[in-house]
Amino acid sequence: KQEVTQIPAALSVPEGENLVLNCSFTDSAIYNLQWFRQDPGKGLTSLLLIQSSQREQTSGRLNASLDKSSGRSTLYIAASQPGDSATYLCAVLQGGSEKLVFGKGTKLTVNP
Amino acid sequence: DAGITQSPRHKVTETGTPVTLRCHQTENHRYMYWYRQDPGHGLRLIHYSYGVKDTDKGEVSDGYSVSRSKTEDFLLTLESATSSQTSVYFCATWRGGSYEQYFGPGTRLTVT
């Protein structure tokens, strides 16, 4: 059974710092991995989707990498801003499945 | 975004009453999902649909039923609400091809 873990559960950094959020999964036979952002009281917003054949995806200050063999993905946020404060979740889609498996998220606070 | 709306956005109901939540999408996505989100448990799949009148159970389906009579609408029914069903409920859809998942804004349900 696929399990997705995000460590740490919470992270606090000063504004301007570059940071990395981690996501690990137990079964490497994934079809894709998706990173989401969730603001308090809101739904999830898709940030980046990495297909299993890709190593990384970039969108603005965000860069997500995928290492299937080690069961890890990282979300790199450059030059963090207070507006980046949110909970970040990763989710994997197993090959042949129709269901995402979610981690419990990392709550990020960027202090001015 | 997949043009997903959920109604109602907030609801308070009494134990033992039936409740129906509605999810509506405008993008003609084939797959639709219902999740619940609770502190300490993260996102958990309740039911999903892979086409009109085609549905399947998720990991926490007891006490819930779903229906999908049109591509754009997916209904979640709590047959007899209990306090343990107090939660935030999210609808999501899946775009074909990349299998990127999109979420609605959520419904906060309180069962007293």
Tell me the per-residue pLDDT of A14-53, one tens digit each, with 9 for 90 and over.
Answer: 999 999 999 999 999 999 999 999 999 899 999 999 999 9
Report the C-alpha dihedral over residues B26, B31, B32, B35, rounded to 10 degrees.
-140
Confidence of residue A95 (pLDDT cuts 50, 70, 90): confident
Confidence of residue A72 (pLDDT cuts 50, 70, 90): very high
Is pLDDT at B96 greater than 80 in this prediction?
no
Q: What local confidence, expressed as pLDDT, does residue B2 receive?
A: 61
Mean pLDDT of chain A: 95
Is pLDDT at B1 greater than 60 in this prediction?
no
B98:A51 CB<8 A = yes
Is pLDDT at A78 greater than 80 in this prediction?
yes
A32–chain B nearest CA distance, Å: 8
What would the two tokens of residue B111 be?
Answer: 């069962």
Task: Of A74-88, B67-81, B85-99, give the lowest mean pLDDT range.
Answer: B85-99
Is pLDDT at A97 greater than 90 in this prediction?
no
Q: Which of residues 52-81 of A touch B (CB under 8 A)?
A: none
B16–chain A nearest CA distance, Å: 26
Beta partners for residue A62, in sequence order = A59, A77
Q: Where are the beta strands (DSSP E) in A15-99?
A: 19-25, 30-38, 44-51, 56-59, 62-67, 72-77, 86-94
Over residues B3-62, the pLDDT tens digits come to 999 999 999 999 999 999 999 999 999 999 999 999 888 899 999 999 999 999 999 999
- Return all residues near B8 (Cβ < 8 A) that are at least 6 apart: B21, B107
B28: phi > 0 → left, psi -120 to 50 → alpha, else beta; which? Answer: left
B42:A93 CB<8 A = no
The average pLDDT across B75-83 equals 97
Given the DSSP bridges, would you call strands B4-7 and B54-57 parallel, antiparallel or unpaired?
unpaired
Q: What local confidence, expressed as pLDDT, does residue A105 receive?
A: 96
